[in-house]
Structure 1
Amino acid sequence: MAKPNYQFEKRQREQQKKLKKVEKAQRKVQATQLPEDADTQAAQDPSLAQNGEPSGPSLM
């Protein structure tokens, strides 16, 4: 019967942990960038309302 390779198992767990940490950091960065992009777009073009449509008089 083969011996269990504990070092391999430990390395696999550590790699999974590191991957999960990196993915979480990427999600956090994306979440912080999305609201900033919306704010900068609205600041650059004040004629756009909160929903992204022009806020001028309607033509109806």
Structure 2
Amino acid sequence: MAKKNYNYEKRAREIEKQKKKEEKLKKKQAKNNPENVENNEEIESTEEKK
């Protein structure tokens, strides 16, 4: 029987937590400075397309 790869599962959980944390931070920033967040999102979306 194959052995489970616990490190892979742990890393996947860590990445998920990190994404949630970043989304929360973006929401907080959007609440405080709605103008700046819109500009940052546009910049990020153009960088991802490259």
TM-score range, shorter chain: 0.5 to 0.7
Q: How big is the alpha-carbon RMSD for the aligned residues of Structure 1 and Structure 2?
A: 1.2
Give the gaps of 5 or more residues in structure 1: 38-60
- The equivalent residue for 2:48 is none
SS in 1 for 2:32: helix
SS in 2 for 1:3: coil
- The equivalent residue for 1:56 is none
Q: Whose RCO is larger (CA < 8 A, sep 6+)? A: 2
Q: State the aligned residue count.
A: 35
Q: Give the distance between the partners of 2:2 and 2:27, measured in 1 at CA.
A: 41
Q: Give the distance between the partners of 2:3 and 2:10, measured in 1 at CA.
A: 15
C-alpha deviation, 1:29, in angstroms: 0.2
Q: Identity percentage over the alignment? A: 46
Instruction: List, as ranges, runs of 4+ consecutive aligned residues in structure 1 with deviation greater than 4 Å.
Output: none
C-alpha deviation, 1:33, in angstroms: 1.2
Which structure's CA Rg is the greater one?
A: 1
Q: Give the distance between the partners of 1:31 and 1:2, measured in 2 at CA.
A: 48
- The equivalent residue for 2:11 is 11
